[in-house]
Structure 1
Amino acid sequence: MSVIELTTFTVEPGKTAAMLAARPGMVEAFRRDRRGFVAAKLIRVAEDTWLDLVEWTDDTAWDESKAKGGNEPEIAAFFATIDTLVSSDRGVRYDDAEDGRRAARTVAYGPHPSQVGELYLPEGDGPFPVITLIHGGFWTAMFDRRQLTPLADDLRQAGFAVWNIEYRRLGEEGGGWPGTFEDVEAAIDRLEGLDDHLDL
């Protein structure tokens, strides 16, 4: 199940440009250094107030990241632009909520935020036959794996384990040929040893 870190902070108006300039380096450092980092989105709430939405594969990954703090220079540079930390909360992406509609967890198979898959397991002890879903969309970044969420959940309820994968697409670094195809191959290889309940 994906864990969403919701951090609200303020930045003095005079430091906004510096904060935005430091942001790409911080995200790249997260990709390199933080296990379980999936993606980050920055939202401006008011002139001096920002909301950072950071997705992690699990609670432990977020806890490990918090313990590291600003251990990398790029991360420290971004943190230095923040004036006040207002709040830091944990959330669950709604379409990952265990509300009976889905039961999935997000697993990274590479360092890029799009190199992830969602593993759905049906009820029971297994082992379960596995279906890998590869979404369409002309390889472009405007389409993602969530278009197959209803199908993945239907298959799970029918007794199948489902591996709904994401991959780097056109518009993202490394997307297109050959990166997209290499990602699909790596995602399928990641199934080996991923869960004892899978019948591979």
Structure 2
Amino acid sequence: MKAIIRTTRFTADPAATEKVLAARAALIAALRAKISGPSEAKLIRVDERTWVDIWRWDSPADLEAAAELAPTLPEARAAFAVANDPTAESGELVDER
């Protein structure tokens, strides 16, 4: 199985920084309590409004399970309530050094 990286870029009101961090942490915990992953999650703040969230999934099946589960989770709804204009893309991890 090959790892999959999912990157989500979004903006948020700078005054909502604590809400962004808390909602993201709750979502990750909720996913990990129910399925395998994400195995890693890293959050980058590009500027005061722009964020990039990078999640590693150990297999395409793990990401697929998360995609099916997330819409049913109140933690996902809360996380996306503070994230504006999210765009996401996924790809196979081909090199890691």
SS of equivalent residue, structure 1 residue 53: strand
SS of equivalent residue, structure 1 residue 75: helix
Q: 1:57-76, aligned counterparts within 5 Å?
A: 57-76=58-77
Cα distance, 1:23–1:3 mapped onto 2, change above 3 Å: same
Root-mean-square deviation (CA, aligned residues, Å) is 1.9
Give the deviation of 1:36 after TM superposition.
Answer: 4.3
SS of equivalent residue, structure 1 residue 31: helix
What residue number does 1:50 align with?
51
Alpha-carbon distance in structure 2 between the residues aligned to 1:27 and 1:49: 20
Q: 1:146-165, aligned counterparts within 5 Å?
A: none
Count the aligned residue pairs: 95
Of Structure 1 and Structure 2, which has the larger fraction of its residues in helix? 2
1:136-171 CA distance string (max 9 Å, x none): xxxxxxxxxx8xxxxxxxxxxxxxxxxxxxxxxxxx
Structure 1 letter corresponding to 2:89: D
Q: Does 1:23 align with 2:4?
A: no
Kindly, what percent of the aligned residue pairs are identical? 33
What residue number does 1:115 align with?
none
Give the deviation of 1:21 after TM superposition.
Answer: 2.1
TM-score, structure 1 as length reference = 0.43
Alpha-carbon distance in structure 2 between the residues aligned to 1:35 and 1:28: 11
Structure 2 letter corresponding to 1:18: K
Q: Does 1:90 align with 2:69?
A: no
Give the unaligned 5+ runs of structure 1. 96-145, 147-200
SS of equivalent residue, structure 1 residue 47: coil
Cα distance, 1:93–1:30 mapped onto 2, change above 3 Å: farther
1:2-51 CA distance string (max 9 Å, x none): 11111111112222221112222111112112334212111111211111
Whether the 8 Å CA contact 1:18–1:81 is kept in 2: the answer is yes
Bigger Cα Rg:
1
Structure 2 letter corresponding to 1:65: A
Whether the 8 Å CA contact 1:70–1:79 is kept in 2: the answer is no
Relative contact order higher in (CA < 8 Å, ≥ 6 apart): 2
Alpha-carbon distance in structure 1 between the residues aligned to 2:82 and 2:14: 10
Q: 1:135-150, aligned counterparts within 5 Å?
A: none
Whether the 8 Å CA contact 1:3–1:93 is kept in 2: the answer is no
Cα distance, 1:26–1:93 mapped onto 2, change above 3 Å: farther
Whether the 8 Å CA contact 1:7–1:53 is kept in 2: the answer is yes
Q: 1:8-19, aligned counterparts within 5 Å?
A: 8-19=9-20
Structure 2 letter corresponding to 1:53: I
